[in-house]
Amino acid sequence: MTEHDDIAEIRKLAGLATPMALRVAVTLGLPDRLRGDGATTEQVATESGVSPVALGLLLGHLATLGVVEHTPTGYRTTGYGTALCTDAGNGLTNFLHLDMAGGRAELAFTELLHSVTTGDGGYARRYGQDFWADLAGNPGLRASFDQQMTDRFRTQIPGIVAGYDWDRFPAIVDVGGGHGTLLAAILAAHPRLRGHLLDVDPTATEALRTFTTHDVGDRAQVTAGSFFDPLPAGADAYLLCDILHDWDDEHAHRILARCVEAVPRSGRVLVIEPVGGRHADTEFDLAMLVIFGGRERRVDEFRALAAAHGLVLDAVTDLTGQRCLLEFRRTG
């Protein structure tokens, strides 16, 4: 490869035109609108209230990418481009749509320099409040975030359920368990086990529906609340799945402290997350930093974090190609 090729490759990697074109296309609903016979640029511009000239430029680039194709009567979505439609069920709409939690959060990357300089998240610098406050004040964002978490875990759940001996614990509290899809799957696979999910409303209310849908409602309890407040006490295990990496060390300590308050001496604290240097993706690691001020911690970092609360790391289990389970026990 020549130096010229290297420069061209780096320009391609650094370019913002394509990532933003895809995001704007999804936000405007173009993949859905242009399915089937498609439409002319003028028709779509009039319907969407956008500039027809500018829309033509966007559609031209989307055609170069293979997302749409030019026809004698305008543009239409290609088979490849249907992956960006709202009914594709792959989570891409949430990840790209600028008015949904995933797409909105991704724009915090414009503050990456601030995050690298200070170690703080960039989300609050861009939007005036942190990610969680933004969700709390906007029900639509909260709903799209909950759906994003459900979509992201769909392919992971079978490996998580099969990769660990959940039957060891008669009762599990899923701390910050979202819509309850993971806990419902664990309960369905282990009929003797009982579960208790804690999350804020309206997420907690949706979890009740999930348990009913999966026919485990008679063994599942839901509490609406924050994991910064006292947790339901006395369960055999407290599960934190994709929770700690969303927070800096100060907040992670607060969450672990609540778990230790609630877990009995013979119980366990279970952490499921990507682990730095093991399964964590470096791009996702930066996302944790810039959105939340968090990170994908390494095993030694988890060990040190937990030790401050009298927890000892007993085992690390690879559950999937993306996530590990770290099992902690109390020392006293």
Give the catalytic positions in this structure.
Answer: 245
Q: How far apart are CA 121 and CA 294, in angstroms?
A: 7
H or E element, residue 175: strand 171-175
| Structure-token match 């498609």, residue found | 38
- Structure token pair of residue 207: 């979890």
Task: At 54, give phi and psi (nearest 5°).
Answer: -65, -40
Q: How far apart are CA 161 and CA 155, in angstroms?
A: 11
* 321 half-sphere exposure, CB direction, 13 A CA radius: 1
Q: Are 152 and 92 in contact (CB under 8 A)?
A: no
Comparing CA positions, the residue from 201, 257, 195, 196 lying closest to residue 229 is 257
Pairing of strands 324-330, 268-273: antiparallel
| Structure-token match 């936000």, residue found | 27
